[in-house]
Each structure stands twice: as structure tokens, then as C-alpha cells.
């Protein structure tokens, strides 16, 4: 029987620390649901074996990396944001693009919670059962991702026909009434 107080978080509720790695295809590639909610993310990450796998020779191919938030410790395969405020523009730019690459995890978490109503409120089961529920929800999410048709390719069908050319607003074929429209002075329809 696990110690119930170890699942009490600093935010004031009982929880399981879920560690997940998500790919660009919105599928969960790795999931750990066994650490207590009071466990720090970096400790849970180290305990789950994924950190060891990434740092080993069999981890990621050369030139690939995993984006983690500032709760983790940076390594050769795990990139974390630069700490602090008022950073030089190079570090600030890195942090911006780094956080953009981490949005997949947040989006997939939202998709899983939004899709499975059992996650809409507190799970009032044992830790073991709550862990099983989370793993089942993730497996069903991955199953549905595999069954859904792939999204359409953006580049061949974009406005510039995949050339990467930027199309300016004045080059679009718009009705002249729409060109001179001033949304800032129109009355609100509500």
C-alpha cells in the first residue's frame, strides 16, 4: 500500500505525476504513471528510465533532441529553456522556439482529457486503478490517431503554391468594400 501523503501535491490535492513524451504526430510515445504527485518532475523523469535511455547510445539518433520544460535538467538529448528574465535576444529567441516545440504535449493532454469524460473530475479509485485508467485513455487516444486520416499537406496547397513566397494583403483579390472596412469603428453586433 503506497503512502497516501506522498500523493498530496503542493497545489493542495492528491495526484499522480504523469510523465509523457509526445511526437509530432500527436501520439504518446512514452508514458509513466507510477510516481506520486509530490514527486518533482525531474526526479520522476530520472526514475522512469527514459532519461537513461536518452543518454545512452541507443537513445535518439544523432542530431535529435527532446524538448523539456524548466523542471528538467538539460543534457545532450534533453533541451530546456534558458532560465531568467530580460535575456539577450538570442536566448529569448531560443526560449520562444523551444516552447513552441513543447506545445504538442499540452495539446495532446487537452485532447485526452477533453475526449474521455472520466478525466473531467477527480478519479476516485485506488492509485493502481487511476494509473490503469490513464494508460487506457492514452492507448485509446493513440488508436484513434492511427485511424484518423492524415491532415492535408500544407505546402503544396498554401496560397503561394508551396514556393514559400510571402503574399501581401494588397495582392489578394478582395472586394474593394472589404479593403476600406474599418473594424475598429464599426458598432459591435452584440
Alpha-carbon radius of gyration of the chain: 22
pLDDT given for residue 185 in this prediction? 63
Residue 103 has pLDDT above 90, yes or no: no
Distance CA 53, CA 45 (A): 11
Residue 5, SS3 per DSSP:
helix
Is 94 or 46 the better-scoring residue by pLDDT?
A: 94
Buried b (16+ CB within 10 A) or exposed e, 83-122: eeeeeeeeeeeebeebeeebebbeebbeebeeebeeeeee
pLDDT given for residue 113 in this prediction? 92
Which triple of cell numbers denotes residue 47? 526514475
Residues 20-32 have a mean pLDDT of 86
User: Would the pTM count as exceeding 0.85?
Assistant: no
Distance CA 67, CA 45 (A): 13
Residues 154-162 have a mean pLDDT of 48
Per-domain residue ranges for the chain? Answer: 4-147
Q: What are the pLDDT digits (tens) for 107-156?
A: 999 999 999 999 888 888 888 898 899 999 999 999 998 887 766 655 44
Amino acid at each position: 500500500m503506497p503512502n497516501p501523503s506522498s500523493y498530496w501535491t503542493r497545489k493542495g490535492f492528491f495526484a499522480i505525476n504523469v510523465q509523457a513524451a509526445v511526437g509530432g504526430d500527436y501520439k504518446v510515445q512514452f508514458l509513466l504513471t507510477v510516481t506520486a504527485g509530490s514527486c518533482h518532475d525531474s526526479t520522476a523523469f530520472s526514475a522512469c528510465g527514459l532519461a537513461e535511455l536518452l543518454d545512452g547510445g541507443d537513445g535518439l539518433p544523432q542530431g535529435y533532441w527532446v524538448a523539456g520544460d524548466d523542471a528538467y535538467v538539460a543534457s545532450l538529448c534533453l533541451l530546456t529553456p534558458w532560465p531568467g528574465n530580460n535575456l539577450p535576444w538570442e536566448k529569448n529567441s531560443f526560449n520562444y522556439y523551444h516552447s513552441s516545440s513543447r506545445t504538442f504535449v499540452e495539446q495532446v493532454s487537452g485532447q485526452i482529457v477533453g475526449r474521455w469524460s472520466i478525466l473531467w473530475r477527480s478519479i476516485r479509485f485506488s492509485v493502481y486503478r487511476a494509473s490503469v485508467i490513464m494508460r487506457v485513455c492514452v492507448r485509446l487516444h493513440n488508436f484513434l490517431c492511427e485511424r484518423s486520416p492524415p491532415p492535408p499537406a500544407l505546402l503544396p496547397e498554401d496560397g503561394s503554391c508551396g514556393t514559400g513566397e510571402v503574399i501581401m494583403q494588397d495582392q489578394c483579390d478582395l472586394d474593394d468594400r472589404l479593403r476600406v472596412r474599418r473594424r475598429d469603428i464599426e458598432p459591435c453586433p452584440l
